[in-house]
Amino acid sequence: MDDNITNDIINLYKEKNWRNIVEKYHDHPERNKLLWVYPGEENFEFIANCLKELKCDRVLSVGCGSGLLEWMVTEATGFPVSGIEVDGAWWNCKYAPPTFIPLLFTTSKLEKDILNILGQHSLALLFCYFNNRPAFEEYIKHFKGNVLIIIGPGDGRGVHTDPKPFGDVNNNWDLFKWQEVRNSKDFIAFYCKKNIIPINK
């Protein structure tokens, strides 16, 4: 991939300048080449505060794509974020987008190494613009942690994801807090497993 936005973002990434990446590209027409959502500083703060409050110590992002969001969340919040993708052959080929974190790969059947990660209780599981309902259900079924984060379009955004940030999780989960990404009609929604919401919420 040889174009200006990609090269500029790679250069800013090398300088660890996530602030410039989000400020410069959050409404760029070609931003989706690398990432669907470019949070603002207040969104990163929101994510950090929720993770702290809910006593998570790391995040696993399912369907992380290039991993740009995951790298920026790590830089901006200090919480380590790792990412899983499918189709390792595509992500390792020369036409694939650049990647900003090392990717973990899975097949549609979750293998032991991924199941072990999903077994960590202090892990938050993130789905950003995910669009694979059966896979979502499978990850949730094996996930032993208490915190689920869904980032995606709200009503009126004109884009489809599955799950959406609201109304798409089962009764085992309570909506904890949510915040709009800038004024984009994209939302970050935090869910907790039932009965673990801190009393001083």
Ligand X SMILES: C[S@@+](CC[C@H](N)C(=O)[O-])C[C@H]1O[C@@H](n2cnc3c(N)ncnc32)[C@H](O)[C@@H]1O
Among 39, 85, 186, 188, binds ligand X (CB under 6 A): 85
Site for ligand X in 13-52 (CB under 6 A): 35-37
One DSSP character per residue, 17-49 reads -HHHHHHHHTT-TTGGGT-S----HHHHHHHHH
User: Per-residue contact track with ligand X, 113 to 132, x per CB under 6 A?
Assistant: ---------------xxxxx
Which CB, 43 or 106, lies closer to ligand X? 106
Q: Min. distance of Cβ 65 from ligand X in angstroms?
A: 3
Radius of gyration of the chain measured on its C-alpha atoms: 16
Rounded to whole angstroms, how far apart are CA atoms 160 and 141? 23
Torsion angles phi and psi, residue 126, rounded to 5: -115, 135
Work out whether 148 is an interface residue with ligand X (CB under 6 A): no
Rounded to whole angstroms, how far apart are CA atoms 101 and 83? 8
C-alpha of 180 from chain center: 14
DSSP letter assigned to residue 111: P
Among 63, 145, 153, 165, binds ligand X (CB under 6 A): 63
Among 47, 59, 62, 73, binds ligand X (CB under 6 A): 62
Which CB, 35 or 147, lies closer to ligand X? 35
Q: Min. distance of Cβ 196 from ligand X in angstroms?
A: 26
Residues that bind ligand X (CB under 6 A): 35-37, 62-65, 69, 84-86, 106, 108, 128-132, 135
